[in-house]
A and B are shown apart, each in its own frame.
Chain A
């Protein structure tokens, strides 16, 4: 039956599925005899950017992430995942993507530790200022949930 046939040859014909990384596997399989360098630097494979364009995007995302945007760094790492995964590929892109990964880890470590201290410490640690900082009180005070 056709449907099962399509399922039984994954390698030369990866099923077009919502898996975000079908083309990377395909490229890796194809190049497995050589190095395992992927052809496409982005996670979208041939649907994504070419290597030349990726440089400007990676650089731009890295720089914008300094504006208190760790999530942008994380998205940058996700987008250029093949660059991170294969350590010898795309040498021009690599510093930016690795920088984004490092930045995201550091920032989220700081943010998580602060948020957890706040949540777990609670009133014992902070005293009355906890009530002033916690979000639902702030929302009540400013009437944020009253509009619309």
Chain B
């Protein structure tokens, strides 16, 4: 076929990148729905956790009491998250990055080891798998240690790192679905509002964190999912050219400050060092990258028609901000999504699965639509954006509409043999 490469269409370039962020989100949601429907926990096994400390819901309370209790729980949880995020900002400001990394490695070990082990135990008891404790311990130990290594400590295959991030998101999301029902819904709305405030307000902790990281040109230690960058091989420029898209103007992106148990990891620095590695080690490789204050070596072959106007203006453009619990663009141009977003999307869908599969489909479509809208806004505004509000708003809206309107309609139609 012809060697000269026509510029890729919107479908090829943008579509590929969107797919690379949609697929892991969908996989995480699917796994959580699977777990929820298999394990089928009854409501009496409620979780005494930090998210339900103010009020534990019993089925005998009136609706108003439940709502008030849920509101109290959510406010307490959001307060805890705010405090922890401010502590994170403080620690980052005081340059305690070593401590942060160790803390996050420890917390992800706890998540993978203890939560993963517990869910594995649930599954073993459910299916009566005749595994003995020695094998189980060896497998769990392997799983947890390699997970911590993959996410924080060292570079590893991109697939392995991404897989472990999805698993961490799935485990935390499943744990959150064990909360009482009203608390879960109010908590989702509260977290969406918190995300909006923390990212966009100038006093918000996440925005402060991002600005600190950018002013120092460092990476925020955070748990971030970074999609594999789309590499376009332009045959006209030689074999070793790796061109990346310019609309990721920044070399620093950070993500996700999350709830207290899941902070930060340095996937961002991995991608940075990856880019650096590729640049330094291979002579013919030219990578287009626009840095904040100066024009870096750029060769950009811009193939993003959305940002067409920005091709030359990006040089001096102020950096794009990346948001924790939000999305942004990685140093290699890939889209990054904080792990908190994965978790809360999956919590919403998992909770919808506890009612019926119809709500699952409706909420999944709503969340994907919200994510698409957020991506478009990201491309438009070129700054870090919170990824939770739009999707959660659409998801919650669709859940309640489906549950109270569509469900009744479908059930009645089926019962009267009008439509199946």
Contacts and interface: CB of A to CB of B under 8 A. Distances in A.
Interface of A: 2-3, 5-6, 8-9, 12-14, 16-18, 20, 22-23, 26, 30, 42-44, 46-50, 52-53, 57, 60, 64, 68-72, 75, 78-79, 111, 114-115, 118-119, 122, 133-136, 138-139, 144-145, 147-148
A26 to B, nearest CB: 7
Contacts of B131: 115, 118-119, 134-135
A13 B132 contact: no
B130 A122 contact: yes
A97 to B, nearest CB: 13
B298 interface: no
Interface stretch (B100-108, B137-145, B352-360): B137-145
A5 B23 contact: no
A145 B6 contact: no
Contacts of A138: 133
Interface residues of B, number: 62
A42 to B, nearest CB: 7
Interface string B217-248: 00000000000111111010001001000000
8 contacts: A9-B2, A16-B232, A71-B143, A114-B134, A122-B130, A135-B121, A136-B128, A144-B117
B414 interface: no
Which 6 interchain pairs have the tightest Cβ spacing? A9-B1, A71-B142, A50-B281, A2-B9, A16-B230, A79-B157
A134 B135 contact: no
A116 to B, nearest CB: 10
Nearest to A121: B130
Contacts of A72: 142, 145-146, 149
Interface string B10-54: 011000100010010000000000000000000000011100000
A115 B157 contact: no
A148 B48 contact: yes
Contacts of A43: 157, 159
A75 to B, nearest CB: 6
B12 A6 contact: yes
B23 to A, nearest CB: 7
Contacts of B230: 16
B125 A139 contact: yes
A8 B274 contact: no
A104 to B, nearest CB: 11
Contacts of A119: 130-131
Interface string B133-171: 111101001110110011000111111100000000000
Contact of B277 (A53, A135, A136): A53
A114 B274 CA distance: 41
B122 A5 contact: no
A16 B231 contact: yes
Given A69-B145, A118-B130, A139-B121, A14 B233 contact: yes
B159 A139 contact: no
Nearest to B287: A46
B160 A78 contact: yes
Contacts of A12: 1, 3, 233, 235
